[in-house]
Amino acid sequence: MDRGLCPRDGGQRFAADVHDGWCRASADRHRSSDSQWLPCVAQDLATTALRHERHELSQEFILIRHHRNPLRVAIGGLGAIGRQVAQRLDAGIDGLILVSVSANRVERAQHYVEAFNHSIPVLQLAELADTADVVIECAPAAVFGEVAEPAIARGCIFIPSSIGALLNHWHLIEAAQRSGARIIAPSGALLGLDAVRAAAEGTIHRVTMITRKPPTGLAGSPYLLENNIDVENLTEPVRVFSGSADEGIKGFPANVNVAVALGIAGIGPERTELEIWADPTIDRNTHSIRVEADSARFELKMENIPSEENPRTGRIVALSVIATLRRLVATLTVGT
């Protein structure tokens, strides 16, 4: 199967070219002395290596310059985020094409994609990477690995919306280094990650994040259930969690992926301070961050309109994934 721009094919091409070069040099040995044969082999291998290096650079250049063959995109999960991304891709984005989707409820997903302009197969999560150059994870955190593992192993570009789940699959970073895959986390519901990344090039002293959500956006979270915290009948704001971002994502896996993204961009989730409030006086998910570094001190606040389908996430999350996709094929990009 033609894998487009997936980098894993490069090593196989290089090995084949080296083998061909060696065979040519071996044939020449019958027509030359040993002293002539060894330099012939060295020169042929050097030429092959240079050709391979130039080819790989060319592939990177093609990817950036918007190759005439669009990047093939697969989506794992058709919830509030996945459906919106799928709709936008089906409507058409230059340089990108939707090739497959997956969902827990296969029949429901098949019924959904029947309304698309193009015929899109509904596959198992583990099969998505076989069809695509880019795999987007929009599934529940419990099945994160089923989407991520094959995508990383096959050297695809992997875009996780559940960035918090990556903390439990950190081995995927090393796996991506071996396979040539790339893991690109969207900004999601948080602004300012470019400034945090820039500050991290120097020294960041402290990062604090305060998340406030309507009680319905937090109800049912594991942390609340384990600690018998009832947020449904609140009449005033209540802080329900205070700790680090890596602790927070365990108790609120569907609520604070942004805190993990902030931690990875900055000083680490284990050092990123997090507060979570259930606030019956608001109707938007709000995130406030404060960063103190040797290069700058800044505070940012964002109010996200909750998704109608899933109040735990904001409408802007799906748009952030779409913007990340556009960036892959854009001639001009803005931001760090």
Report residue 38 CA to chain centroid gap: 47
* Residue-by-residue DSSP string for 258-290: HHHHHHHHTT-TTTSEEEEEE-TT-SSEEEEEE
Q: Residue-wise over 274-308: b if at least 16 C-beta within 10 A, else e?
A: bbbbbbbebeebbbebebebeeeeeebebebebbe
Cα(295)–Cα(166) distance, integer angstroms: 29
Whether residue 287 lies in the annotated active site: yes
Q: Residue 223 and residue 226: Cα distance in Å, rounded?
A: 5
**SS3 category, 116:** coil
Q: Is 201 helix (H, G, I), strand (E, B) or coil?
A: coil
DSSP letter string over 16-29? HHHHHHHHHHHHHH
DSSP symbol at 31: T
CA distance 288 to 163: 19
Cα separation of 319 and 191, whole Å? 13
Measured between alpha carbons, how far is 336 from 156 in angstroms, rounded to an integer? 23
Per-residue b/e over 143-160, b at no fewer than 16 CB within 10 Å?
Answer: bbbbbbbbbbbbbbbbbb
DSSP 186: -
For the annotated catalytic residues, the residue numbers are 287
